Amino acid sequence: MGFIYVIFNVEMSYTIKIADTDDPATDLVIRNLIKTAYNSPDIFPEKYLGTNLNSNASKPHFFLIAEENGEAVGCTGFLPNDFMLNGMACLGYQCCWSVTHPDHRGKKIFTSIINEGKRMGKELGASFMYAISNDNTNQILINKLDFNETPSLVLRIPNIPFLKRTYFTKGHLQSRNGACTINEMQVKEHKLAQFPSLVKVIQFNDSWIWGKLIHKKKLGISIPVFYVGGVQLVAERDLPELVAGIFRSHKAAFVQFFSCASHSFNTLLRGWKPSRKILFNYHNLSMPAFDHFNLMIGALDVF
């Protein structure tokens, strides 16, 4: 099946292995497992997972799979991203594509894979692991895998001239000291490589914002919403111009932000609301303490 080697045998009926997603047979097994776990009528295209995980970070991605009696029963991908904290380079691995075959749930497969991922991540020099989860996986990450939850915030700016101006605070970014900040350029370029026709980038001066224009159906009406993946600001005053550029270039009805609640960017906008749709989770491996976790929804593997 193209597996590289067995990592360990757990005290149960399955083994955890590194899977080579470049091997066509292994790639197909994993894609079929994800299709089954999601009860989806469709299967991801060939090489989709390898491209999705190849972020061009300073360390490689890896993929773990649980196998029982020759059958794939669970898996998780580990997507690397480079971050900066107080001028120090650090690495975080995002846990993604976590599924368990419906016939094998209740065997602690997910927790076994994540724990092995922590061990491997630490060996590769990672400072932390993180996940962007929903309510279901959030409780497992917190209660069984020693992750901490950082709440998420959502903000939707309407394309109404007199109203959209009220969302900008004219404030300043919080101090970059104590901020663990993702390499936004790396994330943007990764998404552009995956979805060159979908990802849109708007620039003003040396600042830029990127995301996707998605049409949402409501009461039978198609509403264009620009979902912001991330922002790179050189000057705070550039933000209103970037948002105006989105409305001008893409005719969006709304611009929507999903942000980690502790992101230092958030002070530049008002009207944020708590969200339970997307949750940010963090597990420390060797990271100094920090105050702000600076990442947005664009880092999510499926964005």
Per CATH, the homologous superfamily of domain 3-126 is Gcn5-related N-acetyltransferase (GNAT) (3.40.630.30)
pLDDT of the residue at 175: 66
Tokens of 162: 């007199």
Q: Is 39 exposed, middle or buried (0-12, 13-18, 19+ CB in 10 A)?
A: exposed
How distant is the alpha carbon of residue 44 from its chain centre?
18
Beta-carbon neighbour count of residue 44 at 10 Å? 17
- Taking alpha carbons only, the member of 170, 177, 256, 174 closest to residue 209 is 256
pLDDT of the residue at 295: 93
Report d(CA 219, CA 233) in Å as an integer: 36
With beta carbons less than 8 A apart as the criterion, state whether 280 and 246 touch.
Answer: no
The whole-model pTM stands at 0.91
Strand, helix or coil for residue 42: coil
Beta-carbon neighbour count of residue 235 at 10 Å? 12
Q: Is 239 exposed, middle or buried (0-12, 13-18, 19+ CB in 10 A)?
A: buried
Half-sphere exposure of 76 (CA within 13 A, CB side): 23
| Tens of each residue's pLDDT in the chain, 303 residues | 344 444 444 456 789 999 999 999 999 999 999 999 999 999 999 999 999 999 999 999 999 999 999 899 999 999 999 999 999 999 999 999 999 999 998 899 999 999 999 999 999 999 999 998 876 788 889 999 999 988 899 999 999 999 999 999 987 776 678 999 999 999 999 999 999 999 999 999 999 999 999 998 888 889 999 999 999 999 999 999 999 999 999 999 999 999 999 999 999 999 999 987 788 899 999 999 999 999 999 999 989
**Where along the chain do its domains lie?**
3-126, 150-276+287-299
Beta-carbon neighbour count of residue 160 at 10 Å? 12
Report d(CA 266, CA 270) in Å as an integer: 8
Report d(CA 206, CA 233) in Å as an integer: 8
